[in-house]
Amino acid sequence: MSFDVSWSVDKYKEDHESEDHWNLRKAFMERWKHDYPEERLVCLGRVFANMEFMGCRYPAEVMLEVSRLAEDVATNYRKSRLNKLQRTFVSASTAAEDRAKGVKRKGGVIDDGPSTKSKKINFVPQGHSNSKDSGSEDEAQTVNELDNDKCKQQNDKKSSEITDFHDYFKEMTSMQCLDVTKFHEGMFHTDFGRMILLIRPWTSKLSNIQASCSVCHVPVVSKYENKCFTLTMDGKLVAQATGPSKAEARSNVATLAWNKLRESAVSVLVKEQWIAQGERVSVSDVGGRQASEAVFGTPIANSVATKMMKLMGWKGGGLGSDAQGIEEPIKPNLQMVNRAGLGSDTTDVRELRRAAHNLMRRYIASDTFDLDLVFSSDFSKEERAVLHQCAQKSGLASKSYGHDKDNDRFLVVRKKLDPFSLVRAIVQKGGVTPKYQVFIPIGLDRRRKR
């Protein structure tokens, strides 16, 4: 295709346009001046600048084409930005204190004198080198690449990998316990009712006691009066302590109650919040996204852009005062990629709900009790809401983990088991499973069978 290339790029510089903005757009147009018609290239240049500076989003086809064309230009621009001044903000009080002490900062870190904060630890991913000679290519890794690596690692995880900050496991394993083969139903009965002690490593002792009472339907009341904190279960006093503050009194009561209950009740240590049953469930596992039959670029009568153009006097046809401009939006010469989510129309929602119900029925029918259905972070917020509803209707528990802003939020579906059935199931597996471990205090050996 032949077209005029004698036109000047500089005539498209806007008066309000900053130098950085214009230089980037200019470099883009100069790079492809001999490959695209003038009108089309100017439009693509504006799209590229808007994407780079303002984070604007366009139809997937346009963004893919612009990303391909701008690869060299954008890379050079981002490298030049690394040498630009980076501002660091500190609080007014910190700045005043620095002036009084004669402290100088560089990049937010004290330059002359010892830093009041510990050094930042740079964690090196497994398989990467931490040597200084690793080269500038590794150092120039973009934020997007780091985010993609993080999301990939999150999706590859098969369990929650929780940390036992309270040393519950060490505490329980150091306690004298009976062999699980000696377990009998009478061990569920304590002085405070029929219950077990549920130990979750990610929370406090008092919280674990209250959660255990809740799932075992044992009434629990905590009260603080006259600098004295009291904990009662099933109307019976468990522990009572005083302290200079409510927090310290509560902490003392929690320790006393914990020591009493772990010696008199069967305990279940939850080693993981969730463990995936094989690979995480992806979007393709519960029904693929259907290809859109819509033609890209077809005007939409009720779109916001159309309404705004009509308010400015546009009555249809080409753009410009003499209608000499294009009549259709730019159509890239790329295969269309549909970005519509599963929840974008009623058909997709029905398909997702049907597939999810089938998957959850198979999960319920399995004999596993310590493995969970873990759905990957590929599902959107709306799709996760549908999955939550399916789990609720199927009699399963569901919870989301992670953060939407990091694109790593995912859904975990697990079976609902009453605590006593859970203990029986763990005992049948030998007392230890990947997710749970049962501890039977030696004092329960004297408890009669019922």
Q: Does the pLDDT of residue 12 top 50, yes or no?
A: yes
The answer as to whether 389 is a domain residue is: yes
pLDDT of residue 327 exceeding 70, the answer is: no
| pTM for the model | 0.51
Residue 129 within a domain: no
Residue 152 sits in the same domain as residue 280: yes
The whole-angstrom separation of Cα 162 and Cα 272 is 6
The CA-based angle 333-339-340, given to 5 degrees, is 130
Residues 6+ apart with CB under 8 A from 240: 228, 229, 230, 231, 253, 256
Q: Is 311 domain-assigned?
A: no
Shared domain for 392 and 440, answered yes or no, is no
- CATH number for the domain including 187? 3.30.160.20
Q: Please give the Cα distance from 9 to 29 (Å, whole number).
A: 7
Per-residue pLDDT averaged across 416-431, rounded?
90
Residue 90 counted as domain residue: no
Instruction: Kindly state whether residues 44 and 193 are assigned to the same domain.
Output: no
Cα 258 to Cα 209: distance, rounded to the nearest angstrom: 7
The CATH number of whichever domain residue 379 belongs to comes to: 3.30.1370.50
Least confidently predicted of 83-87, 259-263, 280-284: 83-87
Indicate the pLDDT class of residue 83, thresholds 50, 70 and 90.
Answer: low
Chain segment 198-224, per-residue pLDDT in tens? 999 888 999 999 999 999 999 999 999
Lowest mean pLDDT across 121-135, 185-199, 340-354, 360-374: 121-135
Considering the domain architecture, whether residues 144 and 205 belong to the same structural domain is answered as no
Contact 370, 436 (CB under 8 A): yes
The pLDDT value recorded for residue 254 is 93
| pLDDT for the residue numbered 288 | 44
Residue of higher predicted confidence among 13 and 367: 13
Reply yes or no on whether the pLDDT at 108 is more than 90.
no
277 shares its domain with 414: yes
State residue 303's pLDDT score. 57
List the strands of the sheet with 396-401, edge to edge.
373-375, 410-415, 396-401
CB neighbour burial string for 64-86, b if at least 16 within 10 angstroms, e if fewer: bbbeebbeebbeebeeeeeeeee
Determine the average pLDDT of the residues in 391-414: 84
- % of the chain beyond a pLDDT of 90: 23
Instruction: Please check whether residues 245 and 285 belong to one and the same domain.
Output: no
> For position 196, what pLDDT does the model report?
94
Give pLDDT, residue 416.
Answer: 86
Q: Does residue 15 sit in the same domain as residue 68?
A: yes
Residue 18: its pLDDT value, please? 84
In this predicted structure, what is the pLDDT of residue 56? 83
The answer to the question of residue 220 being in a domain is yes
Is the model's pLDDT at 87 over the cut of 90? no
Per mean pLDDT, which range of 42-56, 126-140, 335-349 is the poorest?
A: 126-140
Q: 425 and 278 in one domain? A: yes
Give how far the C-alpha of residue 15 lies from the chain's centroid of Cα atoms, to the nearest Å. Answer: 43
Model confidence band, residue 334 (pLDDT cutoffs 50, 70, 90): very low
| pLDDT grade for 339, boundaries at 50, 70 and 90 | very low
Residue 231 above 90 pLDDT? Answer: yes
The mean pLDDT value for 345-369 works out to 80
211 with 75, same domain: the answer is no
Q: What is the mean pLDDT of residues 401-427?
A: 84
Determine the pLDDT at residue 402: 81
Number of domains in the chain: 3
Mean of pLDDT over the chain: 75
Whether residue 148 lies inside any domain: the answer is: yes
Range of the domain at 205: 168-271+435-446
198 and 144 together in one domain:
no
What pLDDT does 23 receive?
86
For residues 266-293, average pLDDT: 68
Say whether both 146 and 238 belong to one domain: no
Q: Determine, yes or no, domain membership for 415.
A: yes
Averaged over 187-193, what is the pLDDT?
A: 92
Are 246 and 179 found together in one domain?
yes
Gap between the Cα atoms of 287 and 383, Å rounded: 12
Contact 268, 183 (CB under 8 A): no
Q: Mean pLDDT: which of 79-83, 84-88, 165-169, 352-356 is highest? A: 352-356
Q: Which residues contact 189 (CB under 8 A, 6 or more apart)?
A: 447, 450
Residue 9 has pLDDT above 80, yes or no: yes
pLDDT tens figures, 46-56: 888 888 888 78
Does residue 323 lie in a domain region?
Answer: no
The predicted-structure confidence for 34-46, as pLDDT tens digits, reads as follows 888 888 888 988 8
Write down the pLDDT at residue 208.
93
Q: What is the pLDDT of residue 407?
A: 73
